[in-house]
Amino acid sequence: MLDTSLSIPYLIQEPKIKEENNPLILLLHGYGSNEEDLFSFASELSDEYYIVSARAPYPVPPYGYAWYAIHFDAEANKFSDDSQAIESRDLIVRFIDELIQKYPIDNQKVNLVGFSQGAILSYAIALSYPNKVNKVVALSGYFNENIIVPNYKDSNLNNLQLFASHGTVDQVIPIDWARRTPTILKSLNIDHQYKEYPVGHGVHPLNFKDFKDFLEQE
C-alpha cells in the first residue's frame, strides 16, 4: 500500500531478517513510470534489506510520473529540465533522511537502484552527497554533470561503488551516452562496473542477476 506520510509517496517491503539496523535499497523509476514498476524486483532481492520504491513528483498522464520534465524544441530535439532535476535530487536526499529517522536503517548502507531518469538522478545524488550513499545501480541512464553540485570533484568519493548498465539497442537513451560513463568514473577514481546487454530501454534478466550480485557483495 502506498505510504504518503513522508515527503515522497512510497511502497515499502520490510526485511524478513531484522537486525538492529538494516541496509536500504531505494528504487527510483524512470520517466512516465511509477513506484510499482521497479518494486516488482523486491521479492527477488535479499531478505536483509528495507526495499523502498519512490514515486516521482510530476504527473505524466495517464498513470505515470517524472522526476523532471523533458522538453522538445522545434527540431524535435529533447532536453531535460535541469532545475527540476536538481529539485528532485535534493528532495530524494531529504527523503533518505526521513526514511532513516522512521525506520532502523543503517545510514552507512543506503543503496540506490535507478532506471533511466532514476539512474541519472542516482549518479547526481551519489556524487553530490557521497556521504549519504553506499552503492549505486544505474540502469539505462547517463551522466549529467549539470545536475551535480559544483565542486563535487573536491569531495571524498572513495566510499562509492557503482554498477552501470545499458542496452545495446536502447532506442530512448543512445548507448554512446552511456559509454562515456566508465571514463568519467575512472577519472574520479570511483570503484565501478559497466556492462552492456542485448536489450532496448529495459532490464535484461542477466542484467538483473548481475546487479543483484553487485548489491550483495561486501
DSSP string, 128-163: H-GGG-SEEEEES----GGGSPTTGGGS--TT-EEE
Q: What is the pLDDT of residues 3-22, one digit of tens each?
A: 999 999 999 999 998 999 99
Q: What is the pLDDT of residues 55-93, one digit of tens each?
A: 999 999 999 999 999 876 555 566 789 999 999 999 999
Nearest to 124 by CA among 80, 151, 89: 89
Q: What is the pLDDT of residues 13-46, one digit of tens each?
A: 999 989 999 999 999 999 999 999 999 999 999 9
In the predicted structure, residue 218 carries a pLDDT above the cut 60: yes
Distance in angstroms (rounded) separating the CA atoms of residues 38 and 145:
25
In the predicted structure, residue 193 carries a pLDDT above the cut 90: yes
**What are the chain's domains?**
10-216 (3.40.50.1820)
- Tell which phi-psi region holds residue 116, choosing left (phi > 0), alpha (psi between -120 and 50) or beta: left
Is the preceding peptide bond at 182 cis, omega within 30 degrees of 0?
no
- Alpha helices by DSSP H, listed for the chain, are 35-39, 82-102, 117-128, 175-179, 181-187, 205-216
Q: Compute the mean pLDDT over every residue in the chain, rounded to the nearest whole number.
A: 94
Q: What is the pLDDT of residues 104-126, one digit of tens each?
A: 999 999 999 999 999 999 999 99
